Amino acid sequence: DAGVIQSPRHEVTEMGQEVTLRCKPISGHDYLFWYRQTMMRGLELLIYFNNNVPIDDSGMPEDRFSAKMPNASFSTLKIQPSEPRDSAVYFCASSFRLPHRTDTQYFGPGTRLTVL
């Protein structure tokens, strides 16, 4: 398996522009997580899905952030409009809870977002 795939790996955009980050979880995994990592705030959970359904989006910082999971193999995190303080590394992770209840989360390589 190729592991969790994220695109793009790097994104540089200007303030006010829309940004879309993409994630393909490991095949067969039923949980998908979006994290944001900065030096100041560490690793923050933004939202996670179970079987394509959002379970907890309390970590989404503002209405400018939205996430979707239209099917088991694809998720997007969208920021509209983007602001300089959104600059961070965004990680996607997936896990497979049943039947082994492994709980192990596998992280993608991340998307480094820079908003100018």
Size of the site for other proteins (CB under 8 A): 18
Residue 43, interface with other proteins (CB under 8 A)?
Answer: yes
Nearer Cβ to other proteins (81/89): 89
Residues 6+ apart with CB under 8 A from 24: 4, 5, 6, 73, 74, 75
Q: HSE (CB half, 13 Å, CA atoms) of 93?
A: 20
Give the per-residue contact string, 3-42, with other proteins (x = CB under 8 A; - = no): ------------------------------x--------x
**Sign for the pseudo-dihedral over CA of 36, 42, 46, 51:** positive
Q: For residue 97, what are its two tokens?
A: 């809870």
Residue 91, interface with other proteins (CB under 8 A)?
Answer: yes
Residues lying near other proteins in the complex (CB under 8 A): 33, 42-43, 45, 48, 50, 55-56, 91, 97, 103-110
